[in-house]
């Protein structure tokens, strides 16, 4: 029998009366037997690292931010990786804006303070719960390829072999048509209550005033220093005075402030059909490389017409039931919803017990291994290829895959994909055909927001690598993405199965971004997501298992050490995971190795929130990973 969520006693008091959403009060049910609020919670290993000594800011300069990883209260909540972005969202909520308004405002601020992972030169995915309609929506702002891009775009014409990956990253060839602004516009038109110009004001203020450089920003710049020096406008912006900004210094971006002001005045048509679009296409087609640089920076294929053709898209979210809950995710071109959903369906065939975490983790790793094999074989841009999504998420297919899992022994990886054909046998032996894991950069960011009406946003945004393509649009203050490197570089050999993730005109590359919403009885209970490239899926899956099956609170589930199995011979893990579980999992045939990064030994940087009871929300961010995050609520409670 599956372990179902256990009920908890009704709360002693009701939250303040809210609003425009449904107001029916029901008896709350916990996700797990143990439920505690953050104020009284002690999470093992969750202590916040002492801040490094930094120079005192000058009078009038911004102060070093204070980050808190957990906040509990009423009236709305937000969790991001950055205090400025979290404060921006919180201020929107306090002024009567809704969750979508706050998410867009926070995203714009992240474009200032987290420019290497979040920018209007990139794209992302949003899952949204509308409390009034009690419905989940999915908004696709993923970049797409230029019209002139064919499936051989990443092959060297001279050799017929894939170009070096580093050359694809720092190039115009890897730049996809950005989707962020179109997604914000769609989100606000459908669900927002504020206009984009109003929501850009806090970000403009931060860009003008500046923010205090922390260790994470310094390190991300240092990692990119060599390639940033070779791109003239990037060097000018991100290496002021020719140096990596020091920790404790103030970084300003007046160019981006000016770009945001013009967007507020002119609208997004300036980007997709106007002068800014011409600059974006021209920069990708002819990257502004220093003539003295020895680096090969290939030109891109983007033209003005590609920007005019771009549209953000409303899609039907993925949905799977799990242990009495409803889990919603992002459909293709993201593989997040399908792969998390399939793995949950597989896990649903096993009893996971908090008293035996090693067995639970064994099943988690094996379910991930199988789901990734199916992801690689079947998932791509559903607008361009046939993705058997319904069958990938069907209970019959999950049972057929689950029967391949042995309780005492890991299957050798990589494993073969299954056959989601609608005809399922009790157990079908594994085949032999496999596909290599395509590289996805782990540098992304995620935020979650809930408002006082019960609307919830789970939003993952990215420009791919730390620093994207490394190419800054001259005078505009933002980097362009390199998301097209998520495509497969080489077509399959004759006789091999087709690859759904080859480049193509106006095709979206497969992503792993997994903005996830969990509902109980039609009401939101959890929202979560993370950066991490192809590890996003396993991080979200592991947090869900920790919370739902292993009885952890959300802060503990998010803080717990992580491992990722993506169809590789080894299981990559954080050191704390290896120390705690390595010996017993090795006895079952798992080969654990330290996650190579970047950054080394750190998997993801998640944010999440949970409705502890009607109206009472707990927002959760990382205490330490990637410098920690910032969780805030409108009306905190002890």
pLDDT at 534 over 70: yes
When pLDDT is cut at 50, 70 and 90, the band that residue 638 belongs to is: confident
Looking at residue 381, what is its pLDDT? 97
Q: pLDDT tens digit string along 196-241?
A: 999 999 999 999 999 999 999 999 999 999 999 999 999 999 999 9
Average pLDDT over residues 74-98: 97
Three-state DSSP class for 633?
strand
DSSP-derived pairing of the beta strands 592-594 and 571-573: parallel
Domain architecture of the chain: domains with CATH: 66-314+438-636 (3.60.20.40)
Query: What is the overall mean pLDDT for the chain?
Result: 89
Exposure string (b/e) for 496-527, b if CB count within 10 Å is 16 or more?
eeebbbbbbbbbbbbbbbbbbbbbbeebbbbb
Q: pLDDT tens digit string along 474-522?
A: 999 999 999 999 999 999 988 889 999 999 999 999 999 999 999 999 9
**Alpha-carbon distance 503 to 229, whole Å?**
30
pLDDT at 20 over 50: no
CB neighbour list of residue 377: distance below 8 Å, 6 or more residues apart:
417, 433, 435, 497, 500
Classify residue 17 as exposed, middle or buried by CB count within 10 Å of its CB (0-12, 13-18, 19+): exposed
**Cα angle value 579/582/584 (rounded, 5°):** 125
**Alpha-carbon distance 325 to 340, whole Å?**
14
**Number of residues that this document lists for the chain:** 638
**Alpha-carbon distance 485 to 261, whole Å?**
31
CB neighbour list of residue 624: distance below 8 Å, 6 or more residues apart:
46, 47, 48, 49
Is 444 noted as a catalytic residue in this protein?
A: yes
Looking at residue 60, what is its pLDDT? 58
The whole model's pTM is what?
Answer: 0.89
Contact 374, 420 (CB under 8 A): yes
**Alpha-carbon distance 338 to 393, whole Å?**
7
Looking at residue 21, what is its pLDDT? 34
pLDDT at 168 over 90: yes
Looking at residue 342, what is its pLDDT? 98
When pLDDT is cut at 50, 70 and 90, the band that residue 149 belongs to is: very high
**Alpha-carbon distance 89 to 259, whole Å?**
21
CA distances from 289 to 113, 228, 283, 298 (A): 25, 10, 10, 10
CA distances from 544 to 6, 45, 539 (A): 16, 19, 9
When pLDDT is cut at 50, 70 and 90, the band that residue 10 belongs to is: very low
pLDDT at 430 over 80: no
Q: pLDDT tens digit string along 31-80?
A: 433 333 333 333 333 332 323 333 333 345 677 667 899 999 999 999 99
When pLDDT is cut at 50, 70 and 90, the band that residue 431 belongs to is: low
What percent of the chain has a predicted confidence (pLDDT) above 70? 88
pLDDT at 14 over 90: no
**Alpha-carbon distance 388 to 378, whole Å?**
7
Looking at residue 427, what is its pLDDT? 78
Average pLDDT over residues 315-342: 98
Three-state DSSP class for 304?
helix
78 DSSP β-pair partners = 449, 632
Per-residue HEC secondary structure of 33-55 comes to CCCCCHHHCCCCCCCCCCCCCCC
Of residues 118 and 591, more confidence is placed in 591
**Alpha-carbon distance 444 to 324, whole Å?**
31
pLDDT at 473 over 50: yes
Longest CA pairwise span in the chain (Å) = 73
Q: Which of 72, 80, 359, 444 is catalytic?
A: 444
Looking at residue 365, what is its pLDDT? 98
In terms of Cα–Cα distance, which of 508, 519, 532, 559 is closest to 460? 532
Q: pLDDT tens digit string along 280-294?
A: 999 999 999 999 999
**Alpha-carbon distance 593 to 611, whole Å?**
36
CA distances from 257 to 202, 463, 475, 476, 503 (A): 10, 19, 11, 9, 34
CB neighbour list of residue 355: distance below 8 Å, 6 or more residues apart:
none
Looking at residue 28, what is its pLDDT? 31
pLDDT at 159 over 70: yes
For 70-125, the DSSP string reads EEEEEEEEEEES-HHHHHHHHHHHHTT--HHHHHHHHHHHHHHHSTTT--TTSEEE
**Alpha-carbon distance 106 to 433, whole Å?**
44
Looking at residue 303, what is its pLDDT? 97
Q: Tokens 């959403």 identify what position? A: 21
End-to-end CA separation in angstroms for the chain: 37
């Amino acid at each position: 029998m599956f372990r179902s969520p256990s009920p908890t006693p009704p709360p002693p008091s009701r939250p303040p009366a809210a609003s425009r959403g449904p107001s029916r009060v029901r008896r709350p049910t916990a996700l797990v037997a143990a439920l505690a609020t953050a104020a009284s919670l002690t999470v093992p290993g969750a202590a916040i690292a002492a801040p490094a000594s930094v120079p005192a800011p000058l009078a009038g300069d911004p102060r070093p931010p204070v980050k808190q990883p957990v906040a509990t209260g009423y009236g709305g909540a937000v969790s991001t990786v950055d205090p400025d972005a979290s404060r921006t969202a919180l201020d929107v909520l306090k002024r009567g804006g809704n969750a979508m308004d706050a998410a867009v405002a926070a995203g714009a601020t992240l474009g200032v303070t987290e420019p290497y992972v979040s920018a209007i030169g990139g794209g992302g995915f949003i899952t949204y719960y509308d409390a009034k309609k009690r419905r989940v929506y999915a908004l696709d702002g993923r970049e797409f390829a230029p019209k002139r891009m064919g499936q051989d775009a990443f092959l060297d014409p001279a050799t017929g072999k894939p170009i070096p990956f580093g050359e694809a990253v720092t190039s115009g060839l890897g730049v996809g048509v950005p989707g962020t602004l179109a997604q914000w516009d769609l989100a606000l038109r459908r669900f927002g209550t504020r206009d984009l110009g109003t929501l850009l004001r806090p970000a403009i203020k931060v860009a003008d005033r500046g923010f205090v450089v922390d260790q994470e920003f310094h390190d991300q710049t240092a990692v990119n220093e060599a390639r940033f020096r070779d791109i003239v406008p990037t060097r000018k912006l991100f290496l002021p005075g020719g140096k990596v900004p020091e920790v404790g210094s103030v970084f300003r971006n007046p160019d981006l402030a000016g770009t945001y002001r013009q967007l507020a005045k002119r609208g997004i048509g300036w980007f997709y059909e106007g002068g800014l679009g011409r600059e974006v296409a021209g920069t990708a087609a002819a990257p502004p490389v220093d003539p003295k640089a020895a680096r090969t920076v290939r030109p891109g294929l983007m033209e003005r017409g590609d920007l005019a053709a771009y549209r953000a898209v409303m899609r039907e979210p993925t949905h799977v039931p799990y242990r009495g809950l409803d889990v919603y995710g992002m459909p293709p071109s993201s593989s997040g919803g399908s792969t998390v959903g399939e793995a949950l369906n597989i896990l649903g065939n096993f009893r996971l017990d908090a008293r035996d975490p090693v067995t639970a983790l064994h099943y988690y790793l094996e379910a991930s291994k199988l789901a990734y094999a199916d992801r690689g074989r079947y998932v791509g841009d559903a607008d361009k290829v046939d993705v058997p999504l319904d069958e990938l998420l069907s209970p019959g297919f999950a049972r057929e895959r689950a029967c391949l899992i042995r309780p005492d022994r890991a299957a050798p990886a990589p494993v073969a994909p299954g056959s989601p054909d609608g005809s399922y046998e009790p157990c079908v032996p594994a085949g032999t055909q496999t596909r290599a894991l395509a590289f996805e950069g782990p540098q992304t960011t995620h935020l979650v927001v809930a408002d006082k009406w019960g609307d919830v946003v789970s939003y993952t945004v990215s420009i791919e690598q730390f620093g994207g393509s490394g190419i800054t649009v001259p005078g505009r203050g933002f980097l362009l993405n390199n998301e097209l490197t998520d495509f497969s570089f080489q077509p399959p050999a004759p006789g091999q199965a087709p690859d759904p993730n080859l480049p193509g005109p106006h095709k979206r590359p497969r992503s792993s971004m997994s903005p996830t919403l969990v509902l109980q009885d039609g009401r939101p209970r959890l929202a979560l997501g993370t950066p991490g490239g192809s590890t996003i899926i396993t991080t979200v899956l592991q947090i869900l298992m920790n919370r739902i099956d292993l009885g952890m609170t959300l802060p503990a589930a998010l803080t717990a050490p992580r491992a990722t199995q993506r169809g590789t011979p080894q299981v990559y893990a954080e050191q704390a995971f290896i120390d705690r579980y390595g010996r017993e999992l090795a006895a079952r045939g798992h080969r654990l190795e330290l996650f190579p990064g970047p950054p080394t030994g750190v998997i993801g940087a998640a944010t999440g929130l949970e409705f502890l009871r009607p109206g009472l929300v707990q927002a959760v961010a990382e205490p330490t990973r990637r410098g920690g995050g910032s969780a805030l609520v409108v009306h905190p409670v002890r």
